[in-house]
Amino acid sequence: MFPESHTGYSYEDCMATAVWLLAQTAVRPLVGIVCGSGLGGLADMLKDQVVFNYRDIPNFPQSTVHGHAGRLVFGTLKGRPCVCMQGRFHLYEGYPIQKITLPMRIFKLLGVETVILTNAAGGLNQDFKVGDIMIIKDHLNMPGFAGNNPLIGPNDERFGVRFPCMSDAYDRELQQLAMDVGVELGYGDFLKEGVYCVLGGPSFETIAECRMLHKLGADAVGMSTVHEVIVARHCGMRVFALSLITNKAVMDYDSEEKANHEEVLETGKQRAEQLERLVSTMVTRIGHNNYS
C-alpha cells in the first residue's frame, strides 16, 4: 500500500475502492460534494442515505479534525444522485498530498461529473464580513510554489494529462449559476467572489503573512480545497468551490482579535442553513439548462 511511498495510489487501487463502494449502494452519483470545517450539515440534506465511515472504506484516510465527521454519504438531493464527503483531509494532518486528494479520483471513478467544494476561510479582503459566502474564481497555491503539488509523481494518462491547464479550474457557468441562485434566494448582500489562497497550516497566519497574501491578490485564506481542485480538474470533472468567511484575517498590530477554530465552527453553524439552500438549489439546476 501507498502511505510509505509518496507516489499515490494506482489507477487499479482507486478502481478497487470505487467498485467496493458501488457494490454496496444503488446510488450512481453525478455530483460530489466536499464539506468544509463545520459545514458537514450539507450531507444531512441527502435523502435515502447510504453511509460509509471512512475507516471502513479500503484505502481511505481517516478524518482527524474537529468539525469533520469522517463519513462518505450517498443519497439524493431533490432527486439528484449525489455523494458527499462529510469531512475532508488536510496537509497538516500529516497525510501525503496524494492521499488527501485520493477521494477526487474515487469520485471520478464513481461517475461524478461535477464537484462542489466548500471550506471555511479567513477573510483578507477588507470589504468582506464574517458570514459572507465567497464564490471562488481562482486560487493561489502556496504549497505548490514550494513543490508540493498532488500531481507530482508518475502520471497515469487514464486519469489525465501530464500538464493540466488551471486557468479554467473554476467553472464559469457554475459561478454564474451560484450568483443567480444566491440573488434569487435573497443572499445578494453576503454573496461575494474572490481568490482563495491555500497554505499548509495548521498554524494560523501572522499579521505580516496576511498583509502579504492580500497584496498578492488573495481575498481569503485557508488550508484546503486547492489540492482537491487540481486533482478533480486533472481527471476532467467540473469544479465549483465556495468559502464561508468564518473570521477576518488579522491585518493590524493594534487588533486584539485572534483566529481560532472554535470561531470557525461557530460561524459555520450560523450560516449553515443558507449555505445548504444555495448548494441544494444549485444541484437541482446543474444539467437542466444552459448551465449544463
Residue 3 grid coordinates: 502511505
Active-site residue, 203 included: no
Which range of residues in 98-106, 142-150, 206-214, 222-230 is near ligand R1P by CB under 6 A? Answer: 222-230
Give the nearer residue to ligand HPA in terms of CB position, either 193 or 209: 209
Residue 18 grid coordinates: 470505487
Residue 263 grid coordinates: 470561531
Nearest to residue 278, comparing CAs of 15, 75, 41?
A: 41
Three-state SS at 55? helix
DSSP 222: E
In the complex, the smallest distance separating the C-beta of residue 277 from ligand HPA, rounded to whole angstroms, is 22
Give every CB contact of residue 162 below 8 A, 6+ residues apart in sequence.
Answer: 155
Our CA dihedral for 24, 27, 30, 32, rounded to 10 degrees, sits at -60
Site string for ligand R1P, 107-126 (x = CB under 6 A): ------------xx------
List residues binding ligand HPA (CB under 6 A). Answer: 120-122, 204-205, 221-223, 246-247, 249, 259, 264
Enumerate the active-site residues: 37, 68, 90, 92-93, 120, 223-224, 247, 261
Annotated binding site for a purine D-ribonucleoside: 205, 247
List residues binding ligand R1P (CB under 6 A). Answer: 36-37, 65, 88, 90, 119-120, 201, 222-224, 261, 264
Annotated binding site for phosphate: 37, 68, 88-90, 120, 224
